[in-house]
Amino acid sequence: MSRRDLIDPASRIPLDAMRAMMPEGLQSIPDITERRAAAAAMALAVEAPDNPNVTKEDRTVPGPDGAPDLTVRIYRPVDQAGPLPGLYYIHGGGMILGDLASEDDVATKICDAVGAVVVSVEYRLAPEHPHPAPVEDCYAGLVWTAKSATELGIDPQRLAIYGGSAGGGLTIGTALLARDRGGPALSFMMPIYPMIDDRNETLSSHEITDIGLWDRATNIEAWAWYLGGKDADQYAAPARAGDLAGLPPAYLDVGTVDLFRDEDIAFAQRLMQAGVPTELHVHPGSYHASEMFAPDTALSQRIWAHRLDALRRALA
């Protein structure tokens, strides 16, 4: 049986349509600039309309020492008095793709549904900017967000961090940096199907080879570009972290037809063993980011219902 046969039938429809147009997936585009343009076009194809309940503002804030400034996009619920919970948002894209615009609809959705001030960060991408540039950018943006909490209308006791895929790996890497540097206190983290292990040794990393969205060959290539020929440390590949104690309470989810399935389940188990309160959801039939490609399916709505419930509980 092909792993594709295990995908939720309704969620498979847009995936098959994409494969019909691009049989070998995004990895078939060797030029990174062209690949980013194709990924951006795919993101726009499922873009949600503007939400009148949310305002948006872009700002330039300090980057890491000696590095360029960062752009952040700030989302605020309309007509809600502060201070509100804060959510620091890190977009996905395998460390090589993505930007603020690619997940604007998701950040807007969370802002509206949870009633939080969301700060989304634009970080530098590999291969032009390998590790540690992306995670250092994310950490610098988090430091600015925490220092600006009063101005932003954020309750500093309710500051969480969220990201999917590469953004999930950067969420954990940033939380590790905050712990180890005595940085901003995080009340919660939500790494969604996080990209956290450069070794590609798990069973699921060998199983997922022909789905068309973040298969084994794509992941190996992305890790090589992200590491730039250097060995991974725990801030690049959090699965390598020896000590997970002291990280904030966590929520993880991943699909059964996702390359990251086994590394994420193992990481959630290690968080629990380290005494970190952890909630884990494994969704049958879900492929990588299926809720973004097939947002109207019953499966996607269940995935989002669990996430938003967890965020509301964590930030109450």
Distance CA 164, CA 190 (A): 8
- For the question of residue 258 being annotated catalytic, the response is yes
Give the CA distances from residue 175 to residues 30, 116, 219, 245, in Å, rounded to whole numbers and listed in that order.
33, 19, 23, 11
Residue at 145: amino acid letter: T
Token reading at 188: 């919660």
- Kind of pairing, strands 84-90 and 188-192? unpaired
Residue with token string 């989002």: 304
Distance CA 313, CA 316 (A): 5
Which position among 11, 120, 165, 300 bears the catalytic label?
A: 165
Which position among 204, 288, 290, 300 bears the catalytic label?
A: 288
- For the question of residue 165 being annotated catalytic, the response is yes
Distance CA 265, CA 259 (A): 12
Helices (H) and strands (E) in the chain — how many of each?
Answer: 11, 8
Which position among 253, 258, 262, 264 bears the catalytic label?
A: 258
Work out the end-to-end distance of the chain between its first and last CA atoms, rounded to an integer number of angstroms: 44
- For the question of residue 131 being annotated catalytic, the response is no
Q: Which sequence positions are flagged as catalytic?
A: 165, 258, 288
